[in-house]
Chains A and B, each alone.
Chain A
Amino acid sequence: MMLNIKDLYAKVEEKDILKGLSIEVKPGEVHAIMGPNGSGKSTMGNVLSGRPGYEATAGSVTFKGQDLLEMETEERAREGLFLAFQYPVEIPGVSNMEFLKAAVDAKRKHQGLEEMSSVDFLKLARETCKRVNLDASFLKRGVNEGFSGGEKKRNEIMQMMLLEPELCILDETDSGLDIDALQVVADGVNAMRDGKRSFLVVTHYQRLLDYIVPDYVHVLAGGRIVKSGDKSLALELEAKGYGWLESEVV
Chain B
Amino acid sequence: MSDFQQTALQLAEQQQSPEWLNSLREQGASTWAKASWPTRKTENWKYLSLAPLQQYQQLGWGAAADSHALDEVEQLQLDATRLVFINGRFSSEHSSALPAGVVRFGEADDEQRTLISQHLGRVVDSERHLFAALSNAWAADGVLVHVPRGQRLEKPIYVVNISTPQRTPVAASQRLLVVLEDNAEVELIEHYASDVHAQNGFVNSLTEVVVGNNAQVQHYRINLEQEDLLHVGGVHVNLQRDARFHGFTLAQGSRLKRIDYQVNMLGEGAHLDLNGIYLPRNRQVIDYHTNVEHCVPHCTSNEVFRGIIGDSAKAVFNGRIHIHPQAQKTLAELSNKNLLTSRTAEINTKPELEIYADDVRCAHGATISQLDETSMYYLQSRGVSKADAITMLSFGFINELLNQVPEQAVQDYLRPRLVSLFGQASETVGQIGYE
Contacts and interface: CB of A to CB of B under 8 A. Distances in A.
Contact of A91 (B396, B432, B434): B396
Interface string A61-94: 0000000000011101110000101001101111
Contacts of B373: 52
Contact of B383 (A52, A103, A118): A103
Given A52-B373, A101-B432, A102-B392, A93 B381 contact: no
B167 interface: no
A115 B431 CA distance: 11
B416 to A, nearest CB: 13
B53 interface: no
A124 to B, nearest CB: 14
Interface stretch (A104-112, A185-193, A219-227): A104-112
Contacts of A49: 381
Interface in A137-180: 140, 142-143, 159, 163
Given A85-B378, A98-B432, A163 B383 contact: yes
A51 B403 CA distance: 31
B207 to A, nearest CB: 29
Indicate the member of A52, A92, A93, A101 with the most B CB atoms within 10 Å. Answer: A93
A233 interface: no
Contact of A140 (B379, B386, B395, B434): B434
Interface in B335-380: 373-375, 377-380
B381 A73 contact: yes
B385 A91 contact: no
Query: Interface size for chain A: under 10, 10 to 19, 20 to 34, or 35 or more residues?
Result: 35 or more
Q: Secondary structure of the B side of the interface?
A: helix
Given A94-B393, A98-B392, A118-B431, A74 B385 contact: yes
Indicate the member of B374, B388, B431, B432 with the most A CB atoms within 10 Å. Answer: B432
Indicate the member of A99, A102, A143 with the most B CB atoms within 10 Å. Answer: A102
A97 interface: yes
Contacts of A73: 377, 380-381
Contact of B429 (A78, A88, A98, A163): A98
A91 B431 CA distance: 19
B399 interface: yes
B367 to A, nearest CB: 14
B396 A92 contact: yes
B431 A77 contact: no
A122 interface: yes
Indicate the member of B374, B375, B383 with the most A CB atoms within 10 Å. Answer: B383
B396 A77 contact: no
Contacts of A78: 383
Contacts of B392: 94, 98-99, 102
B386 A118 contact: no
B74 interface: no
A50 interface: yes
B421 interface: no
A183 interface: no
A108 B375 CA distance: 22
A95 interface: yes
Interface string B377-418: 111111111101000110111111001000000000000000
Given A102-B428, A122-B433, A89 B383 contact: no
Given A95-B432, A101-B428, A74 B383 contact: yes
Interface string A110-123: 10000100100010
A75 B384 CA distance: 9
A118 B432 CA distance: 6
Nearest to B397: A93
Contacts of A99: 379, 382, 384, 392
A146 B312 CA distance: 35
A159 B382 contact: yes
Given A93-B396, A94-B399, A74 B386 contact: yes
Given A101-B432, A118-B432, A91 B381 contact: no
Contacts of B377: 51-52, 73, 89
Nearest to A78: B383
8 contacts: A49-B381, A50-B381, A76-B381, A77-B381, A85-B381, A89-B378, A91-B396, A142-B400
Given A50-B380, A94-B399, A99-B382, 6 more contacts: A49-B381, A74-B381, A77-B382, A89-B374, A91-B396, A99-B379
